[in-house]
Structure 1
Amino acid sequence: MSCHSARTSLATRQLSVVNIKYFQPASPIDITVFMESLSTSCQNYASLKHIYVAETTDPEDSDLVIPLSSEVFRPLLKFTGLLSVAFGSIGNYNLDDRFINDIPDAWPGIHELKFASYRPASCAVTFTAMVSLASRCRSLQSLYLTCSATQSTIIPQAEDGTEKFSPAQTALRELHLGYSQVSEVARMPYILAKVFLALSFLDWYHFFGSFDIENSSERALEEVRYQLQVLQNLADPDDHDDIDDSDVEWEDDDDDAEDSE
């Protein structure tokens, strides 16, 4: 099925599941029109529970860019009963914090949220916004999202100066960081361990799609996973043979980069 034929076949006024796979890349216009058509095809926005949309071919052309901004997906925020939203390899996701921060209010019962892609994604979504999303969605169990963890993460403080975290989220078990960029100053392992007590799976894209281009954040993300396991008492802090600290290349902190200019 093509993305075009999928959007023209939407005729029902009430949907509970949308599950579409198509076999050649769709243009940003086709995908945008599909999202808009979906949002105008239902009168009962609470009826739709699951959305799965995936392009099933491995892209062979690394120069083929299908930019998909937050505005492409914003019409879906009307569907307040969504439990699963998963997009697989349909384009280059260029999401932003404003969209991410709107999701918990729009989809309070979401269990699965995935923006997975063979194509590189931008890092406009901050790590702070990602943590806020996952902690506010109390039923969220699986999250695939590229974010930027290159700046210091600011945590509110109580009157006595101690860090004041939101109530721990105990549903999230699977976190896939896609093409996320990581800086040590973001304190990603510490925050993940503090906020997501049941997190048991952490991964990322090790290569860019099928192009054999290594993810430049690979070593830093390996260090994040190791430190998280230490904090969860799943790894020995003295047994660090798999990762050499001197070989980890953290992304530069954006604030530090600005100060040095």
Structure 2
Amino acid sequence: METKKVWFVTGASKGLGFELVKKLLSEGFRVAATSRTVASLTNSFGETSENFLPLAMNITDNEDVKLSLAKTVEHFGNVDVIVNNAGYGQLGTLEELTDKEAKANFEVNVFGSLNVIRNAMPYLREQQSGNIFNISSIGGYAGNFPGWGIYCSTKFAVAGFTEALAEEARPFGIHATVVYPGYFRTDFLTQDSAKIPARSIEAYESARNSEQAHLNEINGNQPNDPVKAADALIALSKEQNPPVHFLLGIETHEFLNHKINAITNDAKAWEHLTNSTAI
């Protein structure tokens, strides 16, 4: 009888993380789920059991992350699949956001995931196998959303370090994938989840329009089902050669094609200047 893999999922109390943990447990996988409080997990999934380990974890604290992974391996005997899902959306233009607001978004979305990777890799290297799914965003591929620059830049960073990680981890039989979700019907765009800038500058009309469109019009009308996203991640975890880049959700290919065309058109239009530097 096949032994089900052990999954370690961050940001598991809501959104994609919640649906993933729910699906994993229903299919008999063993799951360590993290959130800021244990209660937010046990209220949804139950108490600690042979298949489930709820963990309160501060993802910005490297030692706390290290301890959580150690508890996971102690409880289950190993860890197989890492899902770096914890994160939040910070709205606001680059001029509006304070240094503190920008750094806080990077601390969670970027350095939090790096804390998990740093402390998970020793276990995965030792067993010479594993999957790491780093949840970016379609905004981590196309950043042309006014008022979302800092958030998008955190997700660009996730894509960048995942590309490097895929090469670093491959010799150990470990696969790393950056996942670019499109618009999924979760609470990501609710007022409780997305953070607005403490200081607003009236002149940025396009940013305000973008923010309001996301919070009031797109929110609740997203075209993708997070339960089906969970199915897709589980399916990828079973592949022998999963992709390094994975677009998740309908409409994401539109962003892909638009970005490719934009870069290609700029490159062609300015090729004469690009090549003017040759010695």
TM-score tier after normalising by the smaller chain length: 0.3 to 0.5
Taking structure 2 as the reference length, the TM-score comes to: 0.32
Taking structure 1 as the reference length, the TM-score comes to: 0.33
Q: More helix by proportion, 1 or 2?
A: 2
